[in-house]
Copies of this chain bind each other. A is one copy, B any other.
Amino acid sequence: MNSAVAALRDKLLELQHLGSVSALLGWDQQVNVPDKGHEARAQLMAHISGLYHRSFISSEFEMVLTKAKEIMDRGGLNEDEVCIVRETLCDFVKSKKLPNEFVDELSLTCARAHDFWVRARKNSDFSLFAPYLEKIVELKKQEARLVSPNDPPYDVLLDDYEPGLTSGEAEKVFVELKRFLVPFVAKIVNSSTEVNDSFLKGPWAIRKQRKFTRMVLNRIGFDQEAGHMGISPHPFCESLHPSDIRITVRYKKDDFIEQCLMSAIHESGHGMYEQGLPVEYFGTPRGEAVSLGIHEFNSRLWENYIGRSRLFWEYFFPELKLYFSEVLTGVSLESFYRAINRVKPSLIRVDADEVTYNLHVIFRFEIEKDLIEGRLSVSDLPRAWNRKMADYFGIEVDKDANGVLQDVHWSEGMFGYFPTYALGNLYAAQFYNSALGDLPEKLRPEEFFKFLLGWLRTNVHSKGKLYSAAELVKRVTGEELSVHYFQEYLEYKYSEIYDI
């Protein structure tokens, strides 16, 4: 490795240590911190963020980065090295524009807001969370202005999660998606086919849930010797290092498949991406995921395209029946397959089926854009939310806990994150289509899981941030991002289930 880049890598690795600490603090905050410990945790997280920011924008770091950039500009670096310098530079330029005090305030506000969001959701009382959200929205607007005063503020924030994508481009895709989805959902809802999923209510014994979930994750390829599974109300994934990936699950007696198993497969899809990143580049952009959209394609691919497929359940259903005979006696594979793919407009995004899911995302995108661009105030937010729910799904929100308070993202300052969920679904369809084109022959299920993970390792994980999301999709699938594959997938699958 070029010595200037090696020096940069060493500096980045130091920063990465603080990044890993932040990941652990965040994971632990949701898994272990006791009630009274949240204020101390908020201060601790804010301090570490501040330390990270100060080290990143320090003149010492800038000197090392500048030296590497000079060599890059002279054409003296290979592709991997260019990736490291280019992406670091891009982050550096942004971060440099944020004063330390601003970063401190934003981190502390968000770290504190989390606990108030938890309480507000628990009590379904938006007013507990509103003052924090107001402050966060103001700070995020300010962040956008500081980073790029001449660009639309929402686009500036979006760039943190899906680098290179403008909100105009996202909107174009979403409009097309909506044009397909709204009538498609209506067709399903109005179809005469009834899918019975009442047996999914269990009761499912918790201990067996844990055992079955672990077994499934092992078989699809999530390495549990390089991963740990905790419990939290909202499942998520954090990476400390490719050898230490943290996911969380939740156990409910009356819903194993959706609340536990599918979300565990989802999170382990994120986890397998992180486990597959090139460890020799750990801490540098060459060892980092492309974007959140690409991340989400991994999780949705495993959750939906695999975890809700016939193939998957042809393989696992007999075992599931052995584990849970008290729940599944008399239930056929076909009824089970239909039940877990039942389409039903509902209030909660994370419980949504794969047809209605994107509509949840699209309306969040519209709402958060309005918030950041000043067309919507925090006090009007619950009303706006409930109106959208009525418009898109024709259902009424019974309480804010099931409406505007359901998602954690805004409490953590993550505006511009939601669109990546819908993008992930589209990417997943398109990449999966390419993967299937490379399928050597008909494989047994275990071989197929192995093939798919291998294909992802080769074509996506091992690349780190070498290419942008747009470049990667072009290189691997031969086309730009398209709604086509996703639409085709849904039409094929659900016209069969609902006979439409």
What chain B residues lie within 8 Å of A228 (beta carbons)?
32-34, 37
Of chain B, the residue at the smallest CB distance from A224 is: B34
Q: Which of A380-424 contact B (CB under 8 A)?
A: none
A442 within 8 A of B: no
Q: A24-B25, A32-B228 are in contact. List 15 more A-B contacts (CB 8 A).
A: A17-B43, A17-B44, A17-B47, A17-B48, A21-B44, A32-B230, A33-B228, A34-B228, A36-B226, A36-B244, A37-B240, A40-B240, A40-B241, A41-B240, A44-B241
Q: A25-B21, A28-B24 are in contact. Are A36 and B230 (CB under 8 A)?
A: no
Would you give the 0/1 interface string for A242-257, flagging 1 where the beta carbon is closer than 8 Å to chain B?
Answer: 0110100000000000
Q: Which of A6-37 contact B (CB under 8 A)?
A: 14, 17, 20-21, 24-25, 28, 32-37
- Give CA–CA (A35, B225) in the complex, Å: 5
A269 within 8 A of B: no
In the complex, what's the smallest C-beta–C-beta distance from A137 to chain B, in angstroms? Answer: 28
Q: A14-B47, A28-B28, A47-B14 are in contact. Are A244 and B21 (CB under 8 A)?
A: no
List 7 A–B pairs whose Cβ atoms lie within 8 Å, in order of A's numbering.
Answer: A32-B246, A33-B244, A34-B228, A36-B243, A37-B241, A40-B240, A40-B244
Q: A14-B47, A21-B48, A34-B226 are in contact. Are A243 and B28 (CB under 8 A)?
A: no
In the complex, what's the smallest C-beta–C-beta distance from A432 to chain B, in angstroms? Answer: 28
- Copies of this protein, total: 2
- Give CA–CA (A228, B40) in the complex, Å: 14
**Partner among B28, B41, B48, B244 whose Cβ is within 8 Å of the Cβ of A41:** B244
- Give CA–CA (A93, B240) in the complex, Å: 35
What chain B residues lie within 8 Å of A226 (beta carbons)?
34-37
A366 within 8 A of B: no
A447 within 8 A of B: no
A293 within 8 A of B: no
A319 within 8 A of B: no
In the complex, what's the smallest C-beta–C-beta distance from A214 to chain B, in angstroms? Answer: 12
Q: How many residues of A contact B (CB 8 A)?
A: 32
A39 within 8 A of B: yes
A464 within 8 A of B: no
What chain B residues lie within 8 Å of A20 (beta carbons)?
40, 44
Of chain B, the residue at the smallest CB distance from A241 is: B40
What chain B residues lie within 8 Å of A35 (beta carbons)?
225-226
- Give CA–CA (A14, B35) in the complex, Å: 23
Of chain B, the residue at the smallest CB distance from A28 is: B24
A160 within 8 A of B: no
What chain B residues lie within 8 Å of A36 (beta carbons)?
223, 225-226, 243-244
What chain B residues lie within 8 Å of A153 (beta carbons)?
none
- Give CA–CA (A40, B39) in the complex, Å: 29
Of chain B, the residue at the smallest CB distance from A43 is: B17
Which 5 A-B pairs have CB atoms at the shortest separation, nearest pair first?
Answer: A37-B244, A40-B241, A36-B226, A36-B243, A17-B47
CB pair A34–B240 under 8 Å, yes or no, is no
Q: Which of A43-73 contact B (CB under 8 A)?
A: 43-44, 47-48
A227 within 8 A of B: yes
In the complex, what's the smallest C-beta–C-beta distance from A270 to chain B, in angstroms? Answer: 16
Of chain B, the residue at the smallest CB distance from A223 is: B36
In the complex, what's the smallest C-beta–C-beta distance from A222 to chain B, in angstroms? Answer: 11
In the complex, what's the smallest C-beta–C-beta distance from A36 to chain B, in angstroms? Answer: 4
- Give CA–CA (A25, B28) in the complex, Å: 10
Of chain B, the residue at the smallest CB distance from A226 is: B36
- Give CA–CA (A441, B454) in the complex, Å: 73
What chain B residues lie within 8 Å of A33 (beta carbons)?
228, 244
In the complex, what's the smallest C-beta–C-beta distance from A29 to chain B, in angstroms? Answer: 10
Q: Which of A261-297 contact B (CB under 8 A)?
A: none
Q: Which of A201-252 contact B (CB under 8 A)?
A: 223-228, 230, 240-241, 243-244, 246
In the complex, what's the smallest C-beta–C-beta distance from A39 to chain B, in angstroms? Answer: 7
- Give CA–CA (A14, B223) in the complex, Å: 37
What chain B residues lie within 8 Å of A41 (beta carbons)?
240, 244
In the complex, what's the smallest C-beta–C-beta distance from A287 to chain B, in angstroms? Answer: 13
Q: Which of A24, A36, A240 has the most chain B CB atoms inside 10 A of its CB?
A: A36
In the complex, what's the smallest C-beta–C-beta distance from A453 to chain B, in angstroms? Answer: 17
Q: A20-B44, A21-B48 are in contact. Are A34 and B243 (CB under 8 A)?
A: yes
